[in-house]
Amino acid sequence: MSAPRRPPERRSGFAHMLVLQTRWMDNDAYGHVNNVVYYSYFDTLVNRWLIDEGGFDILRSPVIGYAIETACRFHRPFAYPEPIEACLRVGHLGRSSVRYELGLFGVGENEARADGHFVHVFVDRATERPAPIPERIRASFERLRVGS
Amino acid sequence: MSAPRRPPERRSGFAHMLVLQTRWMDNDAYGHVNNVVYYSYFDTLVNRWLIDEGGFDILRSPVIGYAIETACRFHRPFAYPEPIEACLRVGHLGRSSVRYELGLFGVGENEARADGHFVHVFVDRATERPAPIPERIRASFERLRVGS
Amino acid sequence: MSAPRRPPERRSGFAHMLVLQTRWMDNDAYGHVNNVVYYSYFDTLVNRWLIDEGGFDILRSPVIGYAIETACRFHRPFAYPEPIEACLRVGHLGRSSVRYELGLFGVGENEARADGHFVHVFVDRATERPAPIPERIRASFERLRVGS
Amino acid sequence: MSAPRRPPERRSGFAHMLVLQTRWMDNDAYGHVNNVVYYSYFDTLVNRWLIDEGGFDILRSPVIGYAIETACRFHRPFAYPEPIEACLRVGHLGRSSVRYELGLFGVGENEARADGHFVHVFVDRATERPAPIPERIRASFERLRVGS
C-alpha cells in the first residue's frame, strides 16, 4: 500500500467484451454493488468464454477449471440496474494453468471501474490432478492474448 | 397437494418480457439453477419495471415497495449459461399494494418452466407506513394487466 | 389479497430449530435482508435436516429432493448481523413428496418474522423420475410432525 | 505464476476467529463452495469485527469502510454443510486505510484452505472522501495485529 497504485485498466487493453446484467440484490446496504458480486461477474464471463469459444461442457467435459487465485481492485462503484461491460484478456498461459485478466467498465467508459485477475488450473474431473489445457480451449485462449 | 396442480403458465398470459442472464454460481450442486435464485429473477424483473416504466429511484423515491409475500412453482429447471425470458403481468391492484404474476420461460418456449407471484406493499420510506401507490407507477401497472 | 391474512406463525407450531447466521451481503439497498435470501435460509435448514437426521449425501445418495414449490410471507425484516432462529415442521407427507413448513424468528421471539413452505419431490438421481422417500428420511420426517 | 507460491497460511498467524456457516447454495455445479462465496465469508467476518469490536453501525456511522482491493488464494475446497473457522489479523494500518489478512480453515485444521486480504478505505458517508479511521475502530485494529 506504500507503492503507488497502478492506474485502472483501460478498454484498449482487452480482447473480448460481454455485457452483463446487474440484479437488484447485487446492491448492498450502501446502495452499490457489493464487492463480492464482482467475482460473480468474473466467473460468469470466464465460464461463458470457455463454453462458447472453448467448447467446454460443465457437466461432461473430462477436464475442468478450478479457480486457485482471484483478485480485484475497486475504483468506482456500479449500482443496479446499470449494465456492465465486462472485458477479458489472457495474461500468462501455462501447460495446465491460465491467468485471465479482467476489467469491468460502465457503458462506453474507457477507464475500468474494477479490474482484477483469475487463475484457473485445469484438472482431470475424476482425479482432480492437473491436466493439460484441452486443445480447443487453448486455441481460444490464444485469441485472448493482447500485445506481448 | 391433493388438489390437482394448475398447469404451468403460458406465454400469452403475460404483458411484458425481459431477457435475463444466468450466472455460473446460479447453478447448484445438481447442475441446475438453485430454487432460491428464481426469486432474484423475480426481484430484478419487478424492480426494472418500476425503474424503467414507473420512474422509481431506489435511493430517493419517498415511497418504496416492500415484498410481503412471494411464491414460485418449479416445473422444469434452467441451467447456466442459458438465458431466461422473464414475463410479467399485474394481478390484483389495490390502493397501496400490487400482486405481480410472473413466468420464466426458456427461449422461445410457450410453457413456463417456473411461475409465481410477488406482492409489494408500498410504504413511506421514512415511516414505513403503507402509502398510496405513486401515480406514475400505478399508470404503469395498468399497462401490465391482462384480460379481465 | 381480499381474504384476511393468516396471522404469523408462532414458535410452538414447530418441531425443530436451528440458528442461522446472516451475512453482510444479505442486506439489500434498504438495509434489510433481501427477500430472496429467506429462501436460502429455508434451503439450508431443510438440507441440513436431510443430511444430519436423514443420512442424506448430496453427492452420492441415489434419491434426491427437487424443490417444486416454495412460498414465503414477510412480516418484519431481519438485518445482518443478527442471527435467525429457523424453525421447521413437516405438513403433508406423501409417498414421494413432503411439504415442509418453516418459520424464521428473531432471537427469543414468539412471532415469526417470516414463514412459508417448501415442497420437495424425491426423484431418482439418474432418471429424475419420482421415487419413494427413503426409509431413514421418512422416519426423520415423522419426528417433524406437529399436532394431528 | 513463475515465482514459487507462498505456502498456505497457518492458524498461529491470526489474532481472531469466528465460526461461519455454509449454505446449500454456496455449493456450485462441482459440489464445492463457489470461489465467489469466499469473499462473502471475508466480508461477513470483517464487518462483524467492526460492529462487535469497533462499535460500527451500518446505517448510522458517519464514517464507513469501502473495499478497494480484495484477493484470495484457494488451496483446498469447502463444501456445505461443513462450517468454516474464519480467521483475521490486521496487516498494514494507515491513517484512513487498513489491510485485513484472512485465513479460512476447516474445523481444527492448521493449514488454511483459503487465504487472502481485503483493504478498506474509510470514507465520510456523505462526501465519500477518505476520513481518518474512527478511534474506537482503530483501537480494535491494534488488537488484531500479529507479531511485529
Cα(D107)–Cα(D11) distance, integer angstroms = 11
pLDDT digits (tens, 9 = 90+) for A81-107: 999 999 999 999 999 999 999 999 999
D81 neighbourhood in chain C, CB within 8 Å: 44, 47-48, 51-52
The reply to whether C87 falls in a domain is yes
Pick left, alpha or beta for residue D50 (phi over 0 → left; psi -120 to 50 → alpha; otherwise beta).
alpha
The reply to whether B93 falls in a domain is yes
The reply to whether D77 falls in a domain is yes
Q: Do B25 and A40 touch (CB under 8 A)?
A: yes
The reply to whether D5 falls in a domain is no
Cα(A131)–Cα(A121) distance, integer angstroms = 8
Pick left, alpha or beta for residue B108 (phi over 0 → left; psi -120 to 50 → alpha; otherwise beta).
left
Phi, psi of B49 (to 5 degrees): -60, -50
Q: Is the pLDDT of residue C1 over 50?
A: no
The reply to whether C125 falls in a domain is yes
pLDDT digits (tens, 9 = 90+) for D49-74: 999 999 999 889 999 999 999 999 99
Q: Which three cell numbers stand for residue D114?
A: 483459503
- Number of structural domains (chain D) is 1
Nearest CA in chain A to B49: A81
Cα(A17)–Cα(A50) distance, integer angstroms = 14
The reply to whether A30 falls in a domain is yes
Q: How confident is the model at residue D1 (pLDDT cuts 50, 70, 90)?
A: very low
Residues facing A65 on adjacent strands: A122
pLDDT digits (tens, 9 = 90+) for C67-88: 999 999 999 999 999 999 999 9
**Which one-letter DSSP state was computed for residue D143?**
T
Q: Is the pLDDT of residue A117 over 50?
A: yes
Q: Is the pLDDT of residue B126 over 70?
A: yes
Q: What mean pLDDT is predicted for residues C31-59?
A: 96
Q: Do B69 and C70 touch (CB under 8 A)?
A: no
Nearest CA in chain B to A24: B44
Q: Is the pLDDT of residue C66 over 50?
A: yes
DSSP per residue, chain B: --SPPPPPPBGGG-SEEEEE---GGGB-TTSSB-HHHHHHHHHHHHHHHHHHTT---TTT-SEEEEEEEEEEEESS---TT--EEEEEEEEEE-SSEEEEEEEEE-TT-SB-SEEEEEEEEEEETTT--B-PPPHHHHHHHHTTB---
Cβ neighbors of C147 (< 8 A, separation 6 or more) are none
The reply to whether D147 falls in a domain is no
Which residue range forms the structural domain that includes residue C59? 11-142
Q: What mean pLDDT is predicted for residues C14-37?
A: 95
The reply to whether A84 falls in a domain is yes
Torsion of CA C34, C39, C43, C44, to 10 degrees: 30
B34 neighbourhood in chain D, CB within 8 Å: 24-25
Q: What is the CATH number of the domain that holds D25?
A: 3.10.129.10
Handedness of CA B21, B26, B31, B33 (dihedral sign): negative
pLDDT digits (tens, 9 = 90+) for C112-147: 999 999 999 999 999 999 999 999 999 999 999 997
pLDDT recorded at residue A115: 98
Q: Tell me the residue type at A43.
A: D
**D→C interface, C-beta within 8 Å:** 20-21, 23-25, 27, 31, 40, 43-44, 47-48, 51-52, 58-59, 79-81
Q: Which three cell numbers stand for residue C103?
A: 418459520
**b/e code A63-75 from CB counts within 10 Å (16+ = b):** bbbbbbbbbbbbb
Torsion of CA B138, B143, B145, B148, to 10 degrees: 110
A35 neighbourhood in chain D, CB within 8 Å: 39, 43, 67, 70
Q: With a threshold of 0.85, tell me whether the complex ipTM lies above it.
A: yes
pLDDT digits (tens, 9 = 90+) for B55-73: 999 889 999 999 999 999 9
**B→D interface, C-beta within 8 Å:** 24-25, 27-29, 31, 34, 36-37, 80
DSSP per residue, D70-95: EEEEESS---TT--EEEEEEEEEE-S
Q: Do C29 and B74 touch (CB under 8 A)?
A: no
